[in-house]
A and B are shown apart, each in its own frame.
Chain A
Amino acid sequence: QKEVEQNSGPLSVPEGAIASLNCTYSDRGSQSFFWYRQYSGKSPELIMFIYSNGDKEDGRFTAQLNKASQYVSLLIRDSQPSDSATYLCAARSGSARQLTFGSGTQLTVLP
């Protein structure tokens, strides 16, 4: 069974700090990885996706992928209280149309 694992948290960081969210996956056929943010009571929204080993930056967000270690991470620089949410990691194998989601990490940014 394909699995995506995340530390459920909660993770608390002070405002302005770097928040680091981690995700591991079991299916070596996974090729695409996604980070979603979900505010309480709302639907998930895509933050960014990554295909290639290394780092991908988008504003305050950096996704990191290490396929050899089957590890994906999301760094949030200069964390803001508005970043407080649950962050979901997801993986897709090849051209499959399904995503496998982790259980999410709850992040709280303290003012």
Chain B
Amino acid sequence: NAGVTQTPKFQVLKTGQSMTLQCAQDMNHNSMYWYRQDPGMGLRLIYYSASEGTTDKGEVPNGYNVSRLNKREFSLRLESAAPSQTSVYFCASIGPGLNEQFFGPGTRLTVL
């Protein structure tokens, strides 16, 4: 099992450009999450999907959109990137016991 995979690993964007971060899990988990991590800020929830076909806003959703494409895949889109969106983005999924979130390797995004 690959667990949670994310692409790309690194990305540099110019202000105003758009991009989609991809996430997939092969653990048959219902719930998936997108976080951003900034120095000294811990992990902040952007959006989550409790199950296929549903998405909900987290703590910091502004400037982002998500799509739960199917049970395996959950993508995060930046429509018009801003320097404030420079961060490390983690995707995660959680099993039915809600005890352990499994994290992907992260995407390091820089917006110039």
Contacts and interface: CB of A to CB of B under 8 A. Distances in A.
Interface of A: 4, 6, 8, 32, 34, 42-46, 49, 88, 90, 92, 95, 97-104
A102 B43 CA distance: 7
Given A44-B103, A98-B58, A92 B98 contact: yes
Interface residues of B, number: 22
A18 B13 CA distance: 44
Contacts of A102: 42
Name the prevailing secondary structure of the B interface residues: strand
**List of 8 A-B pairs having minimum Cβ-Cβ separation, nearest first:** A43-B103, A103-B42, A101-B43, A101-B42, A46-B100, A97-B31, A97-B50, A44-B103
A47 B93 CA distance: 16
17 contacts: A4-B42, A6-B42, A32-B99, A34-B101, A44-B43, A44-B90, A44-B103, A88-B42, A90-B43, A97-B50, A97-B94, A97-B98, A99-B45, A100-B45, A101-B44, A102-B42, A104-B42
Interface of B: 31, 33, 35, 40-45, 48, 50, 58, 90, 94, 98-101, 103-106
Contacts, number: 50
B31 to A, nearest CB: 5
B35 to A, nearest CB: 8
Which residue, A4, A32, A46, A101, has most C-beta atoms of chain B within 10 A? A101
Contacts of A98: 33, 45, 48, 58
Contacts of A46: 99-101
Contacts of A97: 31, 48, 50, 94, 98
